[in-house]
């Protein structure tokens, strides 16, 4: 293999730039020509491809977002779009890809290989930490710390005014950000998609706190919670408690995707970027590079996409015990 390309796709995540840097500098170290593809599969279709060098990735390790930009491409979901993408890769003589992204990115890469035989090795770039085959994904640690900083600040005002705050964090299908930021932030309750938490249980927990003279509470809710979003849950609870209880809702939203990546995310992203590149060089294809128990592993895309990644029972138990 002489020429490879790297791209980012789907939602951005802090640490993606560190991963790009590792791929590019690793390729240069190993004597490969390396190209960048802007805006993911959309840029692949449009030929937005350029050669990169070690200098191309100078001074980006500390930056959030992605210098290669990211996009979701509906056109790539069509056979015609993938045919255009293949033609562009052929023009540049690109023989393999490193894809930094999540489930959608890896699904596209799998179909692309089945049709055209272009091997891809992925690096898990998503703040949700919902990919099977790695303990942590790129951007997750930074997102948790961003959420935690907000929770700490909200705790101050909740305590000052004797309020209940319902704080919604990202996690459409995964409660990892909610559970870890909730534990670190001392939340009274955490609601995640993986575990059904009836409204009656939330009310009981809050009332138990009030009986112990607890004047303020924090409830952290993952956006994919089955009982609804933070606003809907607060309204359901309001209907079952005294109207004198002061409640507020805060949705953290996209601030969790941005910001300077933590040291942990920079190191993880660098390790996964180099691991993805060297895996590609060694004949790996249609796999995601991950770190499990501090060991670099490769997991087939089909397993990464299909298999669930459950939240540790220990973490769920910890929330219950520590909220007493």
Adjacent-strand bridge partners of 98: 6, 121
For residue 74, which phi and psi values (nearest 5 degrees)? Answer: -70, -30
Write out the binding residues for substrate: 126-128, 163, 170-172, 223, 248, 254-257
Structure tokens at 304: 């990464």
Question: Can you list the pairs that 88-91 forms with residues at least 24 positions away whose Cβ atoms lie under 8 Å?
Answer: 88/44, 88/45, 88/46, 88/47, 88/49, 89/5, 89/44, 89/49, 89/118, 91/47
Task: Please answer whether residues 30 and 67 qualify as being in contact, where contact means their C-beta atoms are separated by less than 8 angstroms.
Answer: no
Write out the binding residues for Mg(2+): 103
Q: In whole angstroms, what is the distance from residue 12 CA to residue 14 CA?
A: 7
Please count the other Cβ atoms lying within 10 Å of the Cβ belonging to residue 253. 11
**What does the radius of gyration of the chain's CA atoms come to, in whole angstroms?**
22
| Inter-CA distances, 40 with 1, 150, 160, 270, Å | 22, 31, 46, 20
Write out the binding residues for ATP: 11, 72-73, 102-105
Q: In whole angstroms, what is the distance from residue 167 CA to residue 253 CA?
A: 10
Task: Please answer whether residues 29 and 152 qualify as being in contact, where contact means their C-beta atoms are separated by less than 8 angstroms.
Answer: no
Name the one residue in this structure whose structure tokens are 């690096």. 123
Q: Which among 86, 128, 67, 84 has a CA at the least distance from the CA of 103?
A: 128
Question: Cα angle vertex 126, ends 121, 129, to 5°?
Answer: 100
Task: Please answer whether residues 307 and 134 qualify as being in contact, where contact means their C-beta atoms are separated by less than 8 angstroms.
Answer: no
Task: Please answer whether residues 19 and 273 qualify as being in contact, where contact means their C-beta atoms are separated by less than 8 angstroms.
Answer: yes
User: Would you please indicate which residues are annotated as catalytic (active-site) residues?
Assistant: 128
Signed CA dihedral, 77, 79, 85, 90: sign only: positive
């Amino acid at each position: 293999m002489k020429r490879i390309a790297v791209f980012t796709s789907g939602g951005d995540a802090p640490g993606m730039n560190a991963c790009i840097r590792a791929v590019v500098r690793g390729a240069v170290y190993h004597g490969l020509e390396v190209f960048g593809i802007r805006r993911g599969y959309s840029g692949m279709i449009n030929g937005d491809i350029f050669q990169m060098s070690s200098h191309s990735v100078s001074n980006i390790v500390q930056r959030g977002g992605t210098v290669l930009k990211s996009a979701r491409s509906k056109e790539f979901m069509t056979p015609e779009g993938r045919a255009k993408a293949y033609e562009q890769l052929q023009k540049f003589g690109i023989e393999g890809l490193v894809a930094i992204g999540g489930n959608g990115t890896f699904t596209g890469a799998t179909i692309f290989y089945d049709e055209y035989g272009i091997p891809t090795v992925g690096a898990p770039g998503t703040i949700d930490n919902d990919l099977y085959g790695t303990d942590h994904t790129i951007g997750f640690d930074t997102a948790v710390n961003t959420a935690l900083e907000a929770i700490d600040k909200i705790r101050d005002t909740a305590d000052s005014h004797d309020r209940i705050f319902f704080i919604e964090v990202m996690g459409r299908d995964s409660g990892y950000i909610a559970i870890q930021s909730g534990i670190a932030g001392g939340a009274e309750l955490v609601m995640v998609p993986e575990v059904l938490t009836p409204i009656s249980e939330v009310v009981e927990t809050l009332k138990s706190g009030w009986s112990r003279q607890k004047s303020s509470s924090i409830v952290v809710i993952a956006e994919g919670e089955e009982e609804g979003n933070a606003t809907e849950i607060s309204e359901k609870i309001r209907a079952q408690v005294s109207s004198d209880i002061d409640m507020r809702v805060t949705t953290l939203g996209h601030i969790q995707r941005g910001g300077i990546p933590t040291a942990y995310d920079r190191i993880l992203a660098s390790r996964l970027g180099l691991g993805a590149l060297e895996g590609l060089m060694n004949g790996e294809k249609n796999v995601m590079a991950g770190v499990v128990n501090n060991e670099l592993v490769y997991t087939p895309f089909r397993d990464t996409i299909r298999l669930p990644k459950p939240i540790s029972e220990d973490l769920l138990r910890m929330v219950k015990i520590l909220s007493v």
